[in-house]
């Protein structure tokens, strides 16, 4: 029985490793400013590559950011990633996803309600 479970575990591990792509982290970091125009208070911003990978996220910011305020987000570059997804968690427990953000080529991102964003500072 133990041998059977051992073989089953190894087979499962190999299967998972062949399905889940490996992403290389580089030593480079991106950073940009985020203006919160969502109407809600942000509790955290999490960053992951937009390459169909729903696994590990970098913590971009754990600052509490009220609507109308800004913060800086900084995260490790994932080799090969051109765009990133932001998962924004609010103090009320809700979360909103901002997908395909070109975080590498921007200094400012204004987050709006409903997953909308722009690449400029909108007061």
pLDDT of residue 88: 93
pLDDT of residue 122: 60
pLDDT of residue 65: 94
Could you give the domains of the chain?
24-118 (2.60.40.2890)
pLDDT of residue 95: 93
Furthest CA-CA distance within the chain: 65
pLDDT of residue 63: 79
Give the pTM. Answer: 0.71
pLDDT of residue 82: 82
pLDDT of residue 53: 52
Ranges of residues in the chain whose predicted pLDDT is under 50: 3-25
pLDDT of residue 23: 43
Nearest to 86 by CA among 7, 69, 68, 119: 119
What whole-number distance in Å separates Cα of residue 28 and Cα of residue 92? 33
pLDDT of residue 10: 38
């Amino acid at each position: 029985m133990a041998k059977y479970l051992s073989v089953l575990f190894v087979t499962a591990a190999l299967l998972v490793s062949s399905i889940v792509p490996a992403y290389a982290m580089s030593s480079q970091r991106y950073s940009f400013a985020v203006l919160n125009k969502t109407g809600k208070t942000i509790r955290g911003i999490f960053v992951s590559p937009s390459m169909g990978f729903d696994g590990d996220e970098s913590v971009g910011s754990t600052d509490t950011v009220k609507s109308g305020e800004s913060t800086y987000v900084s995260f490790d570059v994932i080799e090969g990633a051109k765009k990133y997804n932001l998962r924004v968690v609010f103090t009320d427990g809700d979360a909103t996803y901002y997908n395909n953000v070109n975080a590498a080529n921007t200094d400012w991102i204004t987050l709006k309600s409903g997953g909308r964003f722009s690449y400029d500072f909108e007061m």
